[in-house]
Structure 1
Amino acid sequence: MSDDTKRHNEERTASVPKADTLTPADRYQELFIAVQMERVFDDSKTFVDCVPRGDPEGILDTYRERCDDEGFRLSDFVHAHFDPPQKHTSHYTSPPGQSLKDHIDSLWGVLTRHPHQHPPNASILPLPNDYVVPGGRFAELYYWDSYFTMLGLAESGRHDLLASMANNFAYLIDTYGHVPNGNRTYYLSRSQPPVFALMVELFEDKGVCKAIEYLPRLRKEYNYWMAGAEDLRPGDTRRHCVCLDDGSILNRYWDDRDSPREESYREDVLTARKSSRPLHHVYRELRAGAASGWDFSSRWCDGTELSTIRTTSILPVDLNCFLYKLERQICLLNHAAGQRKQAEKFQQRAEIRKQAIERMLWSEHDGAYLDYDWERDRPREALNSATAVPLFIGLASRDQARRTAQALRDRLLCEGGLGTSEQLSGQQWDQPNGWAPLQWMAIRGMRNYDIDADDIACRWLRTVGSLYKRQSKLVEKYVITHDGENAEGGGGGEYPLQDGFGWTNGVTRRLLHEDPGNEANEAKAASR
Structure 2
Amino acid sequence: MIFCLDIAHTLKLLLDQEDTDGDKKITIEDKGPKVFTIKSISNEDYKVEGTYHLSNLLQELVIAKNNGHEVAEIPIQHIEELPATRVSRMIKDYFWEGLTRTMDLEGIEKLIHDTKNETLASSKLRVYVPFRDEVALQYYKKLERILPVETIQLPQEVTPQYVKSINDKPGILSLKLEKTDQGLKGVPFVVPGGRFNEMYGWDSYFESVGLLIDGKVDLAKAMADNFQYEIEYYGKILNANRSYYLTRTQPPFYSSLIREIYEVSKDKNWLKSHLKTAIKEYETVWMVEGKRLTENGLNRYLAQGIGMPPECEKGHFDAILKPFADALKLSVEDYIIKYDSGEIKNPELDQYFIHDRTVRESGHDTSYRIEGNCADLNLVELNAMLYKYETDFYELIENEFDGQFESFTTDYWQQKAEARQKAVDIYLWNESKGLYFDYNVVTQSQSSFVAASTLASLWANLCSEKQAKLLIQNAIPLLKEKGGIAGCDKESRGDISPDRPARQWDYPNGWAPHQMMIWKGLFNYGYEDVAQELIYRWLYMITQNAVDYNGTIPEKYDVVAATHKVFAEYGNVGTDFEYITQEGFGWMNASYQYGLSLLKPKFISDLNVLKDPDEIF
Match of 1:255 in 2: 303
User: How far off is 1:523 after superposition?
Assistant: 7.4
Match of 2:394 in 1: 331
- Hey, what's the Cα distance between the residues in 1 that align with 2:323 and 2:301? 21
Go from structure 1 to structure 2 and tell me whether the alpha carbon gap of 1:171 and 1:132 turns closer, same or farther (over 3 Å shift): same
- Is 1:228 matched up with 2:298? no
Go from structure 1 to structure 2 and tell me whether the alpha carbon gap of 1:225 and 1:366 turns closer, same or farther (over 3 Å shift): farther
- Is 1:322 matched up with 2:385? yes
Match of 2:13 in 1: none
- Hey, what's the Cα distance between the residues in 2 that align with 1:110 and 1:523? 28
Match of 1:411 in 2: 478
Q: Deviations over 1:471-497 (max 9, x none)?
A: 112011111112x4xx33333123444
Match of 2:98 in 1: 110
Q: Deviations over 1:436-477 (max 9, x none)?
A: 111111111011100121111111011000101011120111
Match of 1:469 in 2: 547
- Hey, what's the Cα distance between the residues in 2 that align with 1:412 and 1:320? 21
- Hey, what's the Cα distance between the residues in 2 that align with 1:185 and 1:155? 32
Q: TM-score, normalised by structure 1?
A: 0.73
Match of 2:132 in 1: none
Q: State whether residues 462 and 520 of structure 1, in contact with CA within 8 Å, keep that contact through their aligned partners in structure 2.
A: no
Superposition pairs of residues 155-234 of structure 1, within 5 angstroms: 155-207=213-265, 209-210=267-268, 211-229=271-289
- Is 1:243 matched up with 2:248? no
User: How far off is 1:361 after superposition?
Assistant: 0.4
Q: Which runs of 5+ in 1 are unaligned?
A: 1-92, 230-237, 302-308
Q: State whether residues 479 and 488 of structure 2, in contact with CA within 8 Å, keep that contact through their aligned partners in structure 1.
A: yes
User: How far off is 1:503 after superposition?
Assistant: 0.3
- Hey, what's the Cα distance between the residues in 2 that align with 1:489 and 1:153? 27
Q: State whether residues 251 and 382 of structure 2, in contact with CA within 8 Å, keep that contact through their aligned partners in structure 1.
A: yes
Match of 1:479 in 2: 558
Q: State whether residues 195 and 573 of structure 2, in contact with CA within 8 Å, keep that contact through their aligned partners in structure 1.
A: no
Aligned AA for 1:251? N
Go from structure 1 to structure 2 and tell me whether the alpha carbon gap of 1:181 and 1:151 turns closer, same or farther (over 3 Å shift): same
Superposition pairs of residues 419-498 of structure 1, within 5 angstroms: 419-422=486-489, 423=493, 425=496, 426-451=502-527, 452=529, 453-471=531-549, 472-482=551-561, 484=562, 487-498=563-574
Go from structure 1 to structure 2 and tell me whether the alpha carbon gap of 1:520 and 1:121 turns closer, same or farther (over 3 Å shift): farther
Go from structure 1 to structure 2 and tell me whether the alpha carbon gap of 1:348 and 1:342 turns closer, same or farther (over 3 Å shift): same
User: How far off is 1:333 after superposition?
Assistant: 3.7
- Find the partner of 2:370 among 300, 319, 341: 300
Q: State whether residues 163 and 208 of structure 1, in contact with CA within 8 Å, keep that contact through their aligned partners in structure 2.
A: no
Q: Deviations over 1:244-265 (max 9, x none)?
A: 2xxxx11111111132111116
Go from structure 1 to structure 2 and tell me whether the alpha carbon gap of 1:260 and 1:208 turns closer, same or farther (over 3 Å shift): farther
- Hey, what's the Cα distance between the residues in 2 that align with 1:226 and 1:146? 19
Q: State whether residues 552 and 574 of structure 2, in contact with CA within 8 Å, keep that contact through their aligned partners in structure 1.
A: no
Go from structure 1 to structure 2 and tell me whether the alpha carbon gap of 1:454 and 1:333 turns closer, same or farther (over 3 Å shift): closer
SS in 1 for 2:369: helix
Q: State whether residues 566 and 572 of structure 2, in contact with CA within 8 Å, keep that contact through their aligned partners in structure 1.
A: no
Match of 1:285 in 2: 355
SS in 2 for 1:299: coil
User: How far off is 1:104 after superposition?
Assistant: 0.8
User: How far off is 1:176 after superposition?
Assistant: 1.5
- Find the partner of 2:425 among 358, 363, 368: 358
- How many residues are aligned here? 410
Q: Deviations over 1:393-421 (max 9, x none)?
A: 11111111111111222211011111111
Question: What CA RMSD, in Å, does the superposition of the two structures yield over aligned residues?
Answer: 2.2
SS in 2 for 1:250: coil
- Hey, what's the Cα distance between the residues in 2 that align with 1:223 and 1:274? 41
Q: State whether residues 299 and 383 of structure 2, in contact with CA within 8 Å, keep that contact through their aligned partners in structure 1.
A: yes
Aligned AA for 1:490? V
Match of 2:608 in 1: 522
Aligned AA for 1:522? N
Match of 1:152 in 2: 210
SS in 2 for 1:382: coil
SS in 1 for 2:173: coil
Match of 2:408 in 1: 342
- Hey, what's the Cα distance between the residues in 2 that align with 1:226 and 1:153? 27
User: How far off is 1:239 after superposition?
Assistant: 2.1
Match of 2:373 in 1: 310
- Find the partner of 1:130 among 188, 194, 214: 188
Match of 1:60 in 2: none
User: How far off is 1:325 after superposition?
Assistant: 1.2
Match of 1:17 in 2: none
- Hey, what's the Cα distance between the residues in 1 that align with 2:190 and 2:397? 31
SS in 1 for 2:172: coil
Q: State whether residues 512 and 521 of structure 1, in contact with CA within 8 Å, keep that contact through their aligned partners in structure 2.
A: no
Aligned AA for 1:254? L
- Hey, what's the Cα distance between the residues in 2 that align with 1:252 and 1:326? 15
- Hey, what's the Cα distance between the residues in 1 that align with 2:357 and 2:278? 24
Q: Deviations over 1:49-93 (max 9, x none)?
A: xxxxxxxxxxxxxxxxxxxxxxxxxxxxxxxxxxxxxxxxxxxx9
Q: State whether residues 327 and 350 of structure 1, in contact with CA within 8 Å, keep that contact through their aligned partners in structure 2.
A: yes
Q: State whether residues 475 and 497 of structure 1, in contact with CA within 8 Å, keep that contact through their aligned partners in structure 2.
A: yes
Q: State whether residues 553 and 574 of structure 2, in contact with CA within 8 Å, keep that contact through their aligned partners in structure 1.
A: no
- Hey, what's the Cα distance between the residues in 2 that align with 1:186 and 1:264? 11
- Hey, what's the Cα distance between the residues in 1 that align with 2:239 and 2:194? 17
Q: State whether residues 482 and 560 of structure 2, in contact with CA within 8 Å, keep that contact through their aligned partners in structure 1.
A: yes
Go from structure 1 to structure 2 and tell me whether the alpha carbon gap of 1:268 and 1:257 turns closer, same or farther (over 3 Å shift): farther
SS in 2 for 1:462: helix
